[in-house]
Amino acid sequence: MLRVLATVTMLSVLLAMFSPVAAAGYPRRPVTLIVPFPPGGATDIVGRGIAEAVRKHLPQPVAVVNRAGGAGTVGVSEVVLARPDGYTIGLGAVAILTVQPYLSALPYKNPGDITPILKLVNLPIVLFVRSDAPWKTASELLEYARANPGKLRVGVPGIGTILHLNLEQLKLLAQVDMVVVPFEGPRQVAALLGGHVDLALAHPAAIMGYVEAGRIRVIGVFQPQRNSRFPQAQTFKELGYDITRGVYYFLFAPKNTPRTIIVVLHDAFKKALAEPTFVDLARKADFEIDYQPPGALTRELWASFEEYGRLVEYLGLKK
């Protein structure tokens, strides 16, 4: 019996050593990381930051390519349809995998249509106005919106994003009527500065430079407690609207990507999360590093898929 076990063990070791992936020395060429939003936003900042941080942990560079469109679905679809060989991976945002399939026909139906690599970060959501706007607080803004239904225009980074869902739930609970104007994030920030919308939602990373320059004022945050970066900004929870959803980003590969490739990518990017350059970026851009391995990430994605399915139906957005 012991001899049989020893033989099986040796065969397993040999198979691992001489598998096609191990023999190929993956990766032998650059890996493409698809970021499904335009340059300059939080997704792009995280994507480029992690691609730089992983350089010393992979034998080949990771090249970031922006594929914007469809509130992130264009870029994610490109990854889903790519060859499962480890050379095309994606940066996913939770809503693209767990909300958008409820809103339109896509090449993917649910989180089961990808191969998760690891969870990267959590990001808060803030509501902001130009610094010359008359509203100093979220409560003042909502009071004005109630008195002037349909007058305020709100910029969001696409229909079906978590930012959009938070806004729709705020409109419903606060009983205000505001016009939603979707952009390919983070272009809602430029639209606000240009006077095309009156207020907007984004992640802090996309607006910190404008806040520090005195051009933008954050007046509301969708968090359980006030954000230390914007201590003057009210939480919507303290105003009586328990809307505290944030966004999380993760890395994924096409479905059926070999496990041996996923292990290489997972191990390299896990080390990258601890690189001082990425840790410093997280601190400056106000996002939280939240590592999760593939199994835990898979469970979280499915839980989000079920939760947001109920929310989309509740808000009347399901098609």
Q: How far is CA 319 from CA 95, 99, 101, 103, 308, in A?
A: 16, 11, 10, 5, 14
Under CATH, to which class is 126-235 assigned? alpha beta
Same fold flag, 28-122+247-314 and 126-235: yes
Residues forming a β-bridge with 248? 122
The domain spans of the chain are 28-122+247-314, 126-235
CATH number of 28-122+247-314: 3.40.190.150
pLDDT in single tens digits along all 319 residues of the chain: 444 444 444 444 444 443 444 435 999 999 999 999 999 889 999 999 999 999 999 999 999 999 999 999 999 999 999 999 999 999 999 999 999 999 999 999 999 999 999 999 999 999 999 999 999 999 999 999 999 999 999 999 989 999 999 999 999 999 999 999 999 888 999 999 999 999 999 999 899 999 999 999 999 999 999 999 999 999 999 999 999 988 999 999 999 999 999 999 999 999 999 999 999 999 998 899 999 999 999 999 999 999 999 989 988 888 7
Give residue 290's pLDDT.
Answer: 95
This prediction's pTM = 0.83
Spacing of C-alpha 176 from chain mean position: 27
Give residue 319's pLDDT.
Answer: 75
Q: Report the amino acid identity of residue 14.
A: L
The counts of H helices and E strands in the chain are 13, 12
Beta pairing class for 247-254 and 288-292? unpaired
